[in-house]
Chain A
Amino acid sequence: MRVRLNALIGGALTVLVLGTAVLSAFWTPQNPLRIAMRARLNAPSAAHWLGTDEVGRDVVSRLMAGAGTSCLVAALTVVFAVVVGSLVGLLAGFARGWVDRLLMLVNDALLAFPGILLALGLLAVIGPGPWGIVLALGLAYTPTVARIVRGAVLSIREREFVEASRSIGNSEAYTMMRHVLPGTVSPLIVLATSLFGWAILAESALSFLGLGVPPPAPTWGNMLSAARPYLESASWLGVAPGACIALTLLGVNLLGDALRDRLDPRSQAR
C-alpha cells in the first residue's frame, strides 16, 4: 500500500500548525500583546516579517499565538458537536417512533435558530470567553451532526449485514455499536472537518460583532475580522490569518479523508 499524497500533505500541515501552537507558548519573535501606537499598519519589513496591525502589534507573533486559541476553540467545538450530535442522531435513528420525533423536534427547533441570537443569549448568561463560544458554536452545530447521523443510521440499519447481526441473536445495542456506528463514520468525518473550518470562521464572525475571544488575546478569527477595513491599504493584515486558516483546514481535511479510509469498514473491499 503506497503512502498517499493526501495523507502526507495533510499530516505535514497539521503537525506544522500544532507545532507552531506549542512553540508560541514558549517563544514568539515579539510580544504579541505589545502595542506600539507609533508603528500602526507598518508594511512587512525585516523587523516585522508580516508587518504590524492597527495598534502596532507584530503580526507574525500574533499569528503564532493565535494558532493555539483558534485551533483549540474549533477542536473543542467540533468534539462537542460530534459527540452530542452523534448520540442524539444514533438514538433517534435507532429508536425511531416517538423518541425519534421528540428528539428531531428539539433538533429542528435548534437548527432553525440563528447562531447570533444563540451566541448573544449564551454569552449573556455565561459571560464572554472561550468556553461560552465553544458552547454556543457547539450547540449551533450539534443538530446538523444529529441529522446527518440519523440519516446515515436510517439507511444502514436495513442493510444485510445489520440484519444478519440481528438474526444471529446480537442485541440491538451491540448491533448498533458494532455495525451501524462505523457506517456513519464516513459522512461524519467529512462533516467534522468542515465544522472545524466553520468554527474558526464563526469565531471570526462573532468577534466581528464583539462576541469572540476577548481582546487582547489574538485568534485568527479576530485578526481577520479586525483587518477588514484595511483591505486596500494594509492587505497583509487579512491575507496572513486567512492563509493560516486555509492551510490548517486543508491539513485537517486531508487528514480527515485519510482517517476515513482507515476507519471505514467498506474501504477494505477495495
Chain B
Amino acid sequence: MRNALLAGLAAASLVVLPAAAQTPLRASLNSDIRSTQPGGNRDFNTDSVILHVVEGLVALNEHAAPVPMLAEKMELSGDGRTYTFTLRQGVTFHNGAPLTSAEVLWSLRRYMDPATNWRCLPDLNGRSGLAKITEMAAPDARTVTITLEKPAALFLSTIARPDCGSTGVLHPSSVGADGAWVKPVGTGPYSLGEWRRGQYVELERFEGYAALPGERDGFAGGKRALMPRIRFVTIPDSSAAKAALLAGNVDVMTDVPGPELPDLRANRAVQVLAAPSMGVTALLLQTRDPLLKDERIRRAIALALDVPELVTSIVGDDAPENPSPLPSASPFRSEAQTRRPARDLAAAKRLLAEAGYRGQPIRMITNRRYPNVYDASVAAQAMAADAGIKIELEVLDWATELDRYTRGDYQAMAFIYSPRLDPSLSYEMISGPKDTQPRKVWDDPQALELIQRSMTVTDEAERQRIFDRLYGMFMQQVPMVVLYNQPDYIAVRQGVTGVRPWASGQTRLWGVARGG
C-alpha cells in the first residue's frame, strides 16, 4: 500500500518535473483567439497565433511585400494572368506527410468554397474587384498554377495577407470525415497544442520543420523555433498584463497600450520595443455634413492643429507624424508626401470667417478602447479651440463607433484603421462612392479613377506618380487629417531575445529565446 503510494508520487513527480524545468515562453494577448481556422472566424490576435502554425505559397516580408514561402519560385505568364508556383522540396506537414501540389490545390479549393466563409473570398472571386481566379490546377506534384480573369497587381500580396491566414496550406486531415473543422495541420514552425478557451493557447515546436535559409524576414525567411513550447496567455486588462510581465508570470507583453509605457520604461527588469505599424490614426471629417461640406472649414481644422506637437506628446519619438494615407513604412511614401502645412491659426481663422463659421459645435466621436485615439481627440479638441473651432467629444464604445463609421453617421470621428499593406489599398480604404459605401470618407470621381489605375499598373515609377498626385488632391480637399501611424509596442523581460515589433504588427515568436 505504502509502496504503491510512493511509486505513484514518484511517477507524478516524473511527469511534473520536466514540465516545470521548461516553462513555455509566455506572451500576453489582450483577447482570446476566436477560432483556429486561418482567415475564418478571426481577428488580429487570431492571425498572430495561427501564422505560427500555417504558411502559404507566399508570405509578407519585413517590408510587407510578398515573397516566396512554400513556393520555391513563381512565374507570371506573358499575359499577366497565370501564376505558376513551384513548391519547395522537403517540406512536411505537422503529421509527417510531405507537401505536394495535391494539398495546395485541396486547400485553395476549400478556401474558394463559400461554405468555408473565408474572409478573402470576395477579393479573389471578383466580387470586390481586386482579382478573380478562374482556374486552379496541379500539372505535377511540385507545380500549382492559378489563372486570373485579368491581370491583378495585388494578387500575390492579397494571398499573403495575414488576415487571409496567408492562405495557409493545410493537410486535408485538418477537417474531419464530416467536413467539420478539427484543427490546423500546417507546415509552420509550431503546431497547435492545447487551447483553453479564455485562458491560453499553447503551441509546440514542430521538430520536422524545414526552415528557409537566412534571417527572419517578416512572415518569411528563416524561422527557427528556439523555444520548445510557446503559450499565448489571454490577459484582457492591460494593467494586469503589465503586472504579470513585471512579476515574471509572462515573458512578453504584446500590444502594449500607450498609457502603460511610463511604468514599463521606468523598470529595469523589462525592455520596451517599438516600431511604426501600418495602421493609420486619423481624424475623419464627414464631407457630406452641412457644416463640414465646406472645404474651407475642413482646411481650417487641419491648420488649427499642431500635429507634430500632438504626435510627439502621444508617442514621443517612437513614430513620426505622417500626413499621408500611406504608412510611413511604405516605400511609396515619397519625400513629397511628408510635407504638411504648418500650424497657422491666423490662416485658419481667416478661412473660418470666409466660410461664415460662427462657433457652431462640431461633434467628434472617439473611444477609450484605443488610448492613443482618445488622447489624439482630446488634444485636437484643445488645439482647435485656439482657432475658435468648437469641438465636442462624444466617447462611444468601440462597437458603437464602428457602427457609426460603417454607416458614415458622424460629423467628425477620431479613428484608427487596421494596417493596409499595399499603397493602392491604403487609398481604397478611405475612398469610394459614399452612396453605396457610406464608410468611405473621400468621394472624388477623379481620385477613384486614379486609385483604380494604380491597382492594374505594375510599373513602379508610374504607380509612384499616381500616389503623389493622389496625395496632392487629398491634402487640398482634407476629407480627413492623418496624424501618424500607431507604433506597435512590445515589452519583454530582460533575457528574452529576438522579439522585434514590425510594420504589420503581428507578434512573431519564432527566433525568440529566453536566456537565464
Contacts and interface: CB of A to CB of B under 8 A. Distances in A.
Tell me if chains A and B make direct contact, with any CB pair below 8 A.
yes
Interface of A: 33-35, 37-38, 40-41, 54-56, 120, 124, 127-128, 207-212, 214-216, 228-234
B382 interface: yes
Given A214-B393, A216-B382, A232-B266, A37 B260 contact: no
Given A208-B368, A214-B394, 16 more contacts: A34-B382, A37-B309, A37-B312, A37-B379, A38-B309, A54-B259, A55-B378, A127-B394, A128-B396, A209-B368, A210-B368, A214-B395, A215-B393, A232-B263, A232-B266, A234-B262
Contact of B367 (A41, A210, A212, A233): A210
A210 B396 contact: yes
B259 A229 contact: yes
Contacts of A54: 259, 375
A209 B162 CA distance: 29
A211 B397 contact: yes
A124 B259 contact: no
Contacts of A41: 262
B395 A230 contact: no
B494 interface: no
Interface of B: 238-239, 242, 257, 259-260, 262-263, 266, 309-310, 312-313, 367-369, 374-375, 378-379, 381-382, 392-397, 400
21 contacts: A35-B378, A41-B262, A54-B259, A55-B378, A55-B379, A55-B382, A124-B400, A127-B394, A207-B368, A212-B395, A214-B393, A216-B381, A216-B382, A228-B239, A229-B238, A229-B239, A229-B242, A229-B257, A229-B259, A230-B262, A231-B263
Give the secondary structure class of B's interface: helix
A231 B239 contact: yes
Nearest to A119: B397
A168 B17 CA distance: 83
A229 B263 contact: yes
Nearest to A116: B397
A232 B310 CA distance: 25
A232 B378 CA distance: 24
A229 B260 contact: yes
A137 B378 CA distance: 26
Contacts of B374: 210
Contact of A55 (B266, B312, B313, B393): B313
A114 to B, nearest CB: 14
Contacts of B400: 124
Given A33-B382, A214-B393, A230 B263 contact: yes
Nearest to A129: B394
Contacts of A35: 378-379, 382
A35 B310 CA distance: 11
B395 A210 contact: yes
A-B interface, 3 closest residue pairs, ranked by CB to CB distance from nearest: A37-B313, A229-B259, A210-B368
A41 B263 CA distance: 12
A214 B368 CA distance: 11
Contacts of B313: 37-38, 40, 55-56
Which residue among A56, A211, A229 has the maximum number of chain B CB atoms within 10 Å of its CB? Answer: A229
A55 B257 CA distance: 16
Which residue among B257, B260, B374, B378 has the maximum number of chain A CB atoms within 10 Å of its CB? Answer: B378
A40 B312 CA distance: 11
A33 B239 CA distance: 26
Nearest to A120: B397
Given A37-B310, A216-B381, A216-B382, A233 B262 contact: yes
Contact of A211 (B239, B309, B395): B395
Contacts of A38: 309, 313
B378 A215 contact: yes
A45 B260 CA distance: 23
B405 to A, nearest CB: 15
A128 B392 CA distance: 11
A109 B234 CA distance: 33
Nearest to A55: B378
A234 B262 CA distance: 9
Nearest to B314: A37
Contact of B266 (A128, A211, A214, A233): A233
B397 A230 contact: no
A235 to B, nearest CB: 10
B402 to A, nearest CB: 13
Contacts of A214: 392-395
Contacts of B260: 229
Contacts of A232: 263, 266
Nearest to B309: A37
Contacts of A229: 238-239, 242, 257, 259-260, 262-263
A29 B120 CA distance: 57
B512 to A, nearest CB: 26
Contacts of A230: 259, 262-263
A120 B242 CA distance: 28
A216 B378 contact: yes
B375 A215 contact: no
A215 B262 CA distance: 23
Nearest to A232: B263
Contacts of A233: 262-263, 266
A229 B312 CA distance: 19
Contacts of A234: 262
B96 to A, nearest CB: 47
Contacts of A211: 395, 397
Contacts of A209: 368, 397
